Amino acid sequence: MNFKLMAAAAAMAAVLSAPAARAQQFVNVLTGGTSGVYYPLGVAIGKIFSDKLPNVKTQVQATKASVENLILLQQGRGEVAFALGDSLKAAWEGDEEAGFKSKLTKLRTIGAIYPNYIQIVATADSGIKTLADLRGKSLSVGAPKSGTELNSRAILAAAGLSYKDIGKVEYLPFAESVDLMKNRQLDATLQSAGLGVASLKDLSTSTDITVVSVPKDVVDKIGPPFVSVIIPANTYTGQEKDVPTAAVVNYLVTSTAVSDDLAYQMTKLIFESLPELANAHAAGKEIKLENAAIGSPIPLHPGAIRYYKEKGLIK
């Protein structure tokens, strides 16, 4: 009996003296629709985290993108998310018209990534060649209160148009918009995404299209965070010339619920795995470390600041 008691005590002592196993952390990556750019980049980021972060379980969640992502972060239902700069600003300010009933004060930025290009594409037979030509036509403006839909409102307003001037407004994700255009049930779609977005590539290979210009004077009326950019010729099949348009910078966002250490590790892995992101989608090629800490409309996460200080981007 004494021997058994001694053995049990020794076993208990061994358990108590062994290093405590590190608790597994969960990282939910909030993206967008599967036919957009956020999703493939989010899948790539999820794989990077799974492969390189010990004791981390990763999930990639398809969502309605910017606005929903930021609300989910505030609620503690995600650890990292994609969002457009104008949506991020609206969330921080509690812009109810943009879909935020109160200020989302728990949000923190990981870093700036690539610009979203406002890409307005019409079927060639719709006769739409300019923004003014959208009057009386049917237009898909993105999911309700999505970052794309907020961009649609801003662009139309700067061009002197409103939804009342559009013949029919559809609130549809990218892939569904393209399906309607292929079936001649929709004249045009506005998609705020990285260049070469899969939905528009698919459309351009099966339907004659016109990429509609957003002139610089229209972009200037909106002002920051919108900037003037060019959609290079041949980005889409049949697009033979450069097309001026607007762009808004995208950000990777986290929250105050994420520890400084985890935020540091996520930031480091993202910006030290840029070749993997470039392989996941062409938009990934536009992500630059030197731009990461610039221009966020909300505070950077302390974990991200630590990484940027190490790289000499912040003093």
Domains of the chain: 25-114+250-310 (3.40.190.10), 116-248 (3.40.190.10)
pLDDT band at 22 (very low <50, low <70, confident <90, very high): low
| Predicted pLDDT of residue 263 | 98
| pLDDT 10s digits, 57-66 | 999 999 999 9
Q: Which residue has the higher pLDDT, 23 or 282?
A: 282
The dihedrals phi and psi of 58, each to the nearest 5 degrees, come to -110, 140
What is d(CA 72, CA 170) in angstroms, rounded to the nearest whole number? 25
| Predicted pLDDT of residue 20 | 41
Q: What percent of the chain is predicted at pLDDT more than 70?
A: 93
Mean pLDDT of 192-196: 89
Catalogue the E-assigned strands of the chain. 25-30, 56-61, 80-84, 107-123, 138-140, 168-170, 188-193, 209-212, 226-231, 243-255
Q: Which of 53, 114, 115 is nearest to 278 (CA)?
A: 114
Do the Cβ atoms of 204 and 237 come closer than 8 Å? yes
Q: Which residue has the higher pLDDT, 196 or 122?
A: 122
Tokens of 173: 């994700």
Q: Residues near 11 by Cβ (< 8 Å), separated by ≥ 6?
A: none
What is d(CA 147, CA 79) in angstroms, rounded to the nearest whole number? 19
Q: Which residue has the higher pLDDT, 21 or 162?
A: 162
Torsion of CA 250, 252, 257, 258, to 10 degrees: -170
Mean pLDDT of 208-234: 94
